């Protein structure tokens, strides 16, 4: 057999042999038709061998009257060719059979992948749908109807048996968890337990997840297992990391996640490594009970509430400038995101973005989301995280969400709760100054950075604020600009009102 026989068919089958269902490739119509053409060519060659052999036989018969009695022989019942021609016939016949089987195997494998999608995803994912032919989509719909009909036929107590729900049971139905605060007596399927702070115990996964949404338990493995189980079923997981004391700005992130994701996970963790000893880590506002109620109001599916994310280290000792913990025993690995972590907030808080990038990396590795949502009030942070994800090859979509504001324009922040009444009354000058700068830039065109930042700074100082920085920057690279550029520049501000540091920004 020629080395090239059936090669196209084998290559065609290899395209689908080991791919997961959601990665089903586009139907290779060209290769499929090439195999059909090869079969036709082999069939023609096979017929040619038969015809040549029979023609020679007829010629020999005419030369020998002794063979006249065989004039009525059926050529389909006898072989008149040479041994070499017999071998040739066998080669072509085998090649035809093999090519046909390769086409059938290719078609069956694609239908098997579609069938698996029905069991694991319930639908053909959008990224796969473009690769599926109309005939295959028809097969999927008909198979889905048959499966649904069968599941309805198993109705017990008014509910059919969903055979596609979690077909792979967990390795262990129990997980170990730790109670973060006194919660009182709770009844589980195997009895009642007094959940007191610090208690470590084993619970059924389903019961642990229910309590996790109430903010009672901490378990990295449970969080990771929960996210993986949802993603393995074809669900898109959205993640909103927070430091708690939730406000409408946080809720807008959760709503944005809900709009584009099937599962929404929030975390609450006040990260010590982005604070210095002179800052407000110890007094950062907290209200877990209200936070949980707010999460439920926007249909958040799960809350990750760790007590610490730093191995063998107390959070208080992780505040920058606190007494150092020996690297041999404490946390000693950090993430630093190049030049985007310089300037702006980093000028007065050089420790800040190392802490942010490190804790976000840890959270991404625990939650393993498909998308993560960040508010653009912390614009530099949003850009730093976007670069981190790009550079470290996280398969996560970073979504920036517009700033939510109070009625007077002040950017919503958990720190607003720390403002004194007098400072709160004047803090909206930040937003007002930004609006005036934007309007002036729109009206006059290019304006020098010095002119814009000086005017804003004077307005803030007049209201009793202290400027940390006011910078006109390129909105993508965050490099300083000499003058405004419509659609390409951004004014970023950090200012103190009393002891509270507030951030805001606006694109020009």
Tell me if residue 325 falls in helix, strand or coil: coil
Which pLDDT does position 191 carry in this prediction?
Answer: 82
Which pLDDT does position 28 carry in this prediction?
Answer: 93
Mean pLDDT of the region 200-204: 81
Q: What is the CA radius of gyration of the chain?
A: 35
Which pLDDT does position 156 carry in this prediction?
Answer: 55
| Token code pair at residue 224 | 């990771």
Dihedral over Cα of 461, 401, 308, 413: its sign: positive
Q: Is the pTM of this model over 0.75?
A: no
Which pLDDT does position 414 carry in this prediction?
Answer: 85
Query: Alpha-carbon distance 398 to 72, whole Å?
Result: 81
| Residue-averaged pLDDT of the chain | 84
Active site residues: 250
For the segment 441-463, what is each residue's pLDDT rounded down to a tens digit? 999 988 999 999 999 999 999 99
For the segment 207-218, what is each residue's pLDDT rounded down to a tens digit? 776 666 554 556
Residues of the chain with pLDDT > 90, as a percent, come to 44
Query: Alpha-carbon distance 298 to 254, whole Å?
Result: 7
Question: In which band, very low, low, confident or very high, does the pLDDT at 168 lie, cut at 50, 70 and 90?
Answer: low
What phi and psi, each to the nearest 5 degrees, are found at residue 452?
-65, -50
Query: Alpha-carbon distance 368 to 224, whole Å?
Result: 7
All residues at 6 or more sequence positions from 473 whose CB lies less than 8 Å from its CB, including other chains = 343, 344, 479, 480, 481, 489, 490, 491, 492
Tokens 């698996």 — which residue? 116
Using the 8-state DSSP alphabet, how is residue 354 labeled?
A: H
For the segment 307-366, what is each residue's pLDDT rounded down to a tens digit? 888 875 566 656 655 445 445 457 788 999 988 998 899 888 888 899 999 999 999 999
For the segment 395-431, what is each residue's pLDDT rounded down to a tens digit? 999 999 999 999 999 999 988 988 999 999 999 999 9
Secondary structure of 473-490 in HEC code, one letter for each residue: EECCCCCECCECCCCCEE
All residues at 6 or more sequence positions from 8 whose CB lies less than 8 Å from its CB, including other chains = 31, 34, 35, 38
């Amino acid at each position: 057999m020629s080395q090239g026989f059936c090669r196209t068919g084998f290559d065609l089958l290899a395209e689908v042999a080991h791919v997961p269902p959601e990665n089903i490739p586009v139907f290779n119509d060209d290769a499929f038709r090439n195999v059909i053409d090869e079969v036709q060519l082999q069939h023609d060659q096979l017929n040619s061998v038969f015809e040549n052999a029979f023609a020679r036989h007829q010629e020999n018969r005419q030369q020998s009257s002794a063979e006249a009695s065989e004039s009525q022989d059926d050529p389909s019942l006898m072989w008149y060719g040479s041994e070499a021609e017999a071998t040739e016939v066998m080669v072509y016949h085998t090649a035809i059979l093999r090519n046909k089987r390769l086409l059938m195997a290719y078609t069956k494998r694609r239908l098997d992948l579609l069938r698996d999608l029905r069991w694991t995803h319930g639908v053909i994912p959008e990224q796969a749908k473009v690769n599926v032919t109309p005939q295959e989509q028809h097969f999927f719909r008909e198979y889905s109807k048959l499966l649904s009909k069968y599941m309805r036929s198993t109705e017990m107590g008014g509910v059919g048996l969903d055979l596609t729900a979690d077909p792979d049971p967990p390795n262990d139905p129990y997980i170990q968890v730790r109670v973060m605060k006194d919660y009182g007596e709770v009844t589980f399927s195997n009895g009642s337990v007094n959940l007191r702070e610090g208690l470590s115990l084993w619970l059924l996964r389903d019961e642990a997840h229910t309590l996790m949404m109430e903010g009672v338990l901490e378990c990295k493995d449970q969080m990771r297992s929960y996210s993986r189980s949802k993603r393995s079923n074809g669900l898109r997981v959205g993640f909103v990391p927070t430091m708690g004391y939730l406000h409408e700005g946080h809720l807008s992130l959760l709503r944005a996640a809900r709009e584009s994701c099937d599962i929404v996970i929030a975390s609450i963790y006040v990260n010590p490594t982005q604070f210095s000893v002179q800052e407000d880590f110890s007094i950062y506002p907290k209200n877990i009970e209200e936070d949980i109620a707010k999460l439920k109001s926007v249909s958040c599916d799960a809350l990750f509430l760790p007590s610490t994310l730093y191995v063998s280290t107390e959070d208080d000792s992780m505040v920058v400038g606190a007494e150092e913990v020996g690297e041999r025993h404490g946390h000693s690995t950090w993430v630093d995101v190049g030049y985007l972590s310089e300037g702006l907030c980093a000028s007065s808080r050089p420790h800040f973005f190392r802490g942010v990038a490190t804790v976000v990396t840890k959270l991404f590795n625990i939650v393993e989301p498909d998308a993560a949502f960040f508010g653009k009030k912390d614009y530099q942070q949003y850009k730093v995280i976007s670069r981190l994800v790009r550079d470290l090859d996280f398969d996560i979509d970073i979504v920036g969400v517009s700033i939510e504001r109070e009625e007077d324009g002040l950017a919503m922040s958990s720190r607003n709760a720390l403002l004194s009444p007098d400072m709160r009354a004047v803090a909206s000058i930040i937003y007002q100054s930004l609006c005036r700068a934007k309007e002036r830039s729109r009206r006059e065109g290019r304006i020098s950075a010095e002119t814009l930042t000086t005017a804003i700074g004077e307005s803030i100082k007049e209201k009793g604020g202290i400027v940390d920085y006011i910078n006109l920057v390129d909105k993508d690279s965050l490099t300083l600009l000499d003058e405004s550029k419509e659609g390409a520049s951004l004014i970023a501000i950090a200012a103190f009102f009393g002891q509270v540091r507030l951030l805001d920004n606006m694109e020009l």
